[in-house]
Amino acid sequence: MRAHPVAVGSKVSVEFKLLLADGQIVDSAGRDDPLQFVVGDQTLVEGLEQRLLGLSPGERARFNISAQEFVFGVHDDEKILTMAREEFADEMELDQDHIVAFDLPNGEEVLGTIRGLHGDDVEVDFNHPLVGRDFVFEVEILDVMNKT
């Protein structure tokens, strides 16, 4: 009997990586702590979710995604903020294009990309790190439970 393929409404468990063209991992979930979600619940952006439809447990896929697909939206200049260098740990590398995780007061994590250092100021872009970039989405479907 063939395993259930991913469909809208399926509960899915996946191992994945989102990578920049240079191989830098932007986000990932491993086999020991996979991403689990229901297709259509907006846990995963629609542009990535759609690529999973029809895949079955055990299948791996690699998708090269163009910046022109706007999977993570369009660039918003209002999400570029200037922060004081003292707000970062002394040992933290603040190289241009380095992606940094920030903890919000509600416990949520948000990613910011270092855009530049200007004296005692650090320019941080809080647009999703993949907005306006080509990237790779690698995924393995671990489990699929279809709605009954």
Report strand pairing: 11-20 vs 60-65.
unpaired
Q: For residue 69, which phi and psi values (nearest 5 degrees)?
A: -80, -15
What is the pLDDT at residue 125?
Answer: 96
Give CATH for domain 77-125.
2.40.10.330
pLDDT given at position 1: 43
Neighbours of 52 (CB within 10 A): 23
Helix or strand run (H / E) with residue 92: none
pLDDT for res 134: 92
CATH of 11-72+131-145, one of 3.10.50.40, 3.40.50.2300, 3.30.70.250, 3.30.1370.30: 3.10.50.40
Rg (CA), the chain: 18
- For the chain, residues with pLDDT lower than 70 are 1-2, 147-148
pLDDT at site 102: 87
